[in-house]
């Protein structure tokens, strides 16, 4: 099998008896290198930055399983894998709290204008205290709108409740009352119009790609903040820059980007924007859980069993499980 990046655990801990090749460089292998390495492999462990499409799968006739080191899977052509009899797995439940923690880190930093205040303090002489300096948003009583109310969205709601925020959510699936974490349902337009902060936790699909475009941002409450720790292409970054420049929005916190790893140049120099390089799952504990879960999925398939974490709807048409 081939692992496209070094992991925070030794693959041999899980895959005893299997030959494992790990890409040694910090950056991803090129598409050509990935095809070359996959050609003789029965398993691949991939990252979101690795494009797994029909041409790659055709170059790997022995491939039985692709284990994505992520909860999301928009980098993989699921239909192409399914029709070729290849399992595709992911790592659900491994990064919920880590991503929710980062979401709230960004939310607090944007609400309290932390980049501006910290830069001022680092001058070494920030002058006299002023009653009107660095005025931000007090979270107690503020309205948080959550788009997407899966495990991470609900974890963010729990944290918001601890800060005294009023939480509403918009979800494509009905949420039972007992799982709402004190939040109230709302449609997307209500979320835009009433939220002081909107936090995005929806998957990237054809319906969510570019969802936060110029029109949607214009419908947001004036002076609101936008947080995105889900997928970058859900937000039109050019439209976001324009909304910040006009004062329609008061700030943004982004861990993911439309053309990752490139960041829109209009965002880079703004003191009302907090930027992090896709570190939502970057805790030692979460990254180790992700690695072990991905490797266990591979081990199951190579041992002739159904993997524990197949992506829903991706069961191969020519599965080899007994």
Q: Which residues are catalytic?
A: 231, 260, 278
Orientation of helix 114-121 relative to helix 96-111, angle to 10°: 70
How remote is the C-alpha of 222 from its chain's centroid?
A: 26
- 3-class state of residue 147 by DSSP: strand
Question: Which residues are 68's β-sheet partners?
Answer: 46
DSSP conformation class of 26: S
DSSP 202: -
SS3 label, residue 170: strand
- Note whether 90 and 312 are within 8 A (CB): no
Cα–Cα distance, 151 to 183 (Å, whole number): 14
Report the alpha-carbon angle 287-289-291, nearest 5. Answer: 70
Question: Considering Cα of 123, then 124, then 128, then 130, what sign does the dihedral take?
Answer: positive
């Amino acid at each position: 099998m081939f692992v496209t990046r070094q992991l925070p655990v030794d693959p041999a801990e899980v895959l005893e008896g299997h030959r494992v090749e790990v890409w040694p460089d910090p950056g991803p292998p090129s598409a050509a290198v990935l095809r070359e390495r996959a050609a003789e492999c029965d398993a691949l462990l991939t990252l979101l930055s690795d494009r797994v499409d029909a041409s790659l799968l055709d170059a790997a006739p022995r491939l039985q399983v692709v284990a994505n080191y992520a909860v999301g899977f928009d980098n993989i052509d699921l239909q192409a894998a399914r029709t070729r009899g290849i399992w595709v797995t992911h790592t659900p439940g491994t990064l919920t709290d880590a991503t929710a923690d980062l979401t709230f880190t960004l939310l607090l930093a944007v609400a309290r204008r932390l980049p501006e205040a910290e830069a001022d303090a680092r001058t070494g002489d920030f002058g006299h205290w002023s009653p009107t300096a660095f005025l931000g948003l007090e979270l107690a009583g503020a309205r948080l709108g959550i788009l997407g109310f899966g495990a991470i969205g609900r974890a963010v709601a729990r944290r918001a409740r601890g800060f005294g925020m009023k939480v509403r959510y918009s979800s494509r699936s009905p949420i039972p009352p007992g799982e709402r974490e004190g939040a109230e349902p709302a449609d997307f337009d209500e979320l835009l119009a009433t939220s002081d902060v909107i936090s995005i936790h929806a998957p990237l699909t054809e319906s969510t790609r570019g969802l936060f475009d110029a029109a949607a941002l214009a419908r947001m409450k004036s002076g609101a903040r936008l947080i995105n720790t889900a997928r970058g292409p859900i937000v039109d970054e050019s439209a976001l820059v324009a909304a910040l420049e006009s004062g329609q929005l008061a700030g943004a916190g982004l861990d993911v980007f439309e053309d990752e790893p490139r960041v829109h140049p209009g965002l880079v120099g703004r003191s009302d924007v907090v930027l992090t390089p896709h570190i939502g799952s970057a805790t030692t504990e979460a990254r180790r859980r992700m690695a072990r879960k991905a490797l266990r999925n591979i081990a199951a398939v190579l041992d002739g069993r159904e993997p524990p974490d197949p992506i829903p709807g991706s069961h191969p048409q020519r599965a080899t499980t007994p």
